[in-house]
Amino acid sequence: MESLAIIILILFSVALFAGPVAILLSAKKLTQKLESKNEGVFKVLNLLRRLILIVLVILAFTTGFQFLTISGLPLVPRATGLFAIVTSYIALRREFFPQTFVVGSLIRKIRKDK
């Protein structure tokens, strides 16, 4: 029974912390500092940062999806799963699609229609 509790603790830790850490890795200050330098060390660090970010996003998304789709779970694990999916989505958008403004364009279209 202890091993089951450890596995559940690991899954909850991944769901709670992988997304926010990925968001921190996609911060503007960090990416600008790493991309402004042209030395080989900084290019390797930037590549390593992106690989870690991708791994964290995949882990957070899969554990969050599991928590959301398992039937019979209480509200807290489902909310944790939703939190993991949302934070991993935010980190993914901040890193790879920074110029895509979905919400802003929708609001502009709604205002033009009125």
Q: What is the pLDDT of residues 78-92, one digit of tens each?
A: 999 999 999 999 999
Q: Phi, psi at residue 100, to the nearest 5°?
A: -90, 115
pTM of the model as a whole? 0.80
* Domains of the chain by residue range: 2-113
Q: How would you classify residue 74: left for phi > 0, otherwise alpha for psi between -120 and 50, otherwise beta?
A: beta
Distance CA 71, CA 18 (A): 23
Task: State how far Cα 30 lies from the chain centre.
Answer: 16
Instruction: Check whether 100 has a pLDDT greater than 80.
Output: no
Q: pLDDT tens digits for 13-38?
A: 999 999 999 999 988 888 888 778 77
